[in-house]
Amino acid sequence: MAHIDKTKSIADVGDGAAIPIKSDRGLFTAWRIAFVGAIGTLAFLSFYKPDPYLNIIKFVPDGIVVTFKVTVGAILLASIIGLITGLGRISSNRLFNGAASLYVEVIRGIPLLVQIFYIYYALGRIVKIPDLLSAIIAMAVCYGAYMGEVFRAGIQSIPKGQMEAAMSLGMTRGQAMRHVILPQAFKVVLPPVGNEFIALLKDSSLVSILAVADLLRRGREFASESFTYFETYTVIALIYLIITLFFSKLIGIMEERINAEN
């Protein structure tokens, strides 16, 4: 998860993949080598030794779909939680600010896997909901705190003069926030939100412990049936690498376009 300092800037370094941009030739070259190499290795293994490599690839596609469902669902819900938390962190209302700050500190102080277990089983004691939805909620609550710091930093990166100018035109603080500050802040936070998406994609493998048939769990099922643990986890690792590198490139393109517009 991205680590955001207490300044008004957005930290670019996080737990997601490194974002390849053309200005960083070393990283851009490394990305191409890793991406092409991972695809080539997977293709070679499937051709050279179809049993078990090709059989593994045929066995896990539904797990990839579940992984994306968890990731997309969790990042959307985490974004909503993060926006509310970010607004709370800069709010002058002591209760709202205190609740948001407490949420951030508590979540950041507990390991992610412990949070997932706790939220999953806590929800199970209150209401019975599907395992997939439970996993999405658990991941969203965990990532919402980090997203909150992303939004806080993004909002605070907008010059204060923007708020003052909007209010001088007759807008209330709420109207100025909705119509002036947030639209600009969204452009600022898009790259770090993309990085959080990649980090969440990787961390989604943790939900396999919750009986959710994601990519990792499907791999574990194949390995337990065939006893090809090394081969199975090699394929799983390569698939995760390809997906992660693919999305890191998309985020890099998005970031370059945003910078070009500015």
Residue type, 48: Y
Give how far the C-alpha of residue 45 lies from the chain's centroid of Cα atoms, to the nearest Å.
30
Residue 32 lies in a domain: no
The 3-state secondary structure of the chain reads CCCCCCCCCCCCCCCCCCCCCCCCHHHHHHHHHHHHHHHHHHHHHHHHCHHHHHHHHHHCHHHHHHHHHHHHHHHHHHHHHHHHHHHHHHCCCHHHHHHHHHHHHHHHCCCHHHHHHHHHHHHHHHCCCCHHHHHHHHHHHHHHHHHHHHHHHHHHCCCHHHHHHHHHCCCCHHHHHHHHHHHHHHHHHHHHHHHHHHHHHHHHHHHHHHCCCCHHHHHHHHHHHHCCHHHHHHHHHHHHHHHHHHHHHHHHHHHHHHHHHC
Confidence (pLDDT) at 31: 85
Residue type, 172: T
Angle between helices 50-59 and 25-48 (to 10 degrees): 110
Cβ burial, residue 248 (10 Å; 0-12/13-18/19+): buried
Give how many domains the chain has, as a whole number. 1
Residue 110 lies in a domain: yes
Residue 231 lies in a domain: no
Residue 112 lies in a domain: yes
Taking alpha carbons only, the member of 199, 251, 238 closest to residue 3 is 199
Residue 241 lies in a domain: no
Residue 86 lies in a domain: yes
- Residue identified by tokens 């990519």 is 215
Taking CA 27 as the corner, what is the angle to CA 21 and CA 28, rounded to the nearest 5 degrees?
Answer: 50
Say which CATH number the domain at 183 has: 1.10.3720.10
* Distance set, CA 88 to CA 4, 100, 115, 151, 188 (Å): 16, 5, 22, 10, 19
Confidence (pLDDT) at 161: 86
Confidence (pLDDT) at 18: 64
Torsion 119-120-125-126 (CA) sign: positive
Half-sphere exposure of 65 (CA within 13 A, CB side): 4
Confidence (pLDDT) at 20: 64
Cβ atoms of 139 and 200 closer than 8 Å: yes
Residue 208 lies in a domain: yes
Residue numbers of the domain that contains 127: 62-223
Confidence (pLDDT) at 227: 93
Residue 259 lies in a domain: no
Say how many C-beta atoms besides its own lie within 10 A of residue 13's C-beta.
11
Cβ atoms of 210 and 260 closer than 8 Å: no
What does the block give as tokens for 6?
């207490």
pLDDT in tens, the chain (262 residues): 444 443 334 444 455 556 666 666 777 688 889 999 999 999 999 999 999 999 999 999 999 999 999 999 999 999 999 999 999 999 889 999 999 999 999 998 999 889 888 888 888 788 888 888 988 998 999 999 999 999 999 999 888 888 888 888 888 888 888 888 888 888 888 888 988 999 999 999 999 888 888 999 999 999 999 999 999 999 999 999 999 999 988 888 887 777 776 6
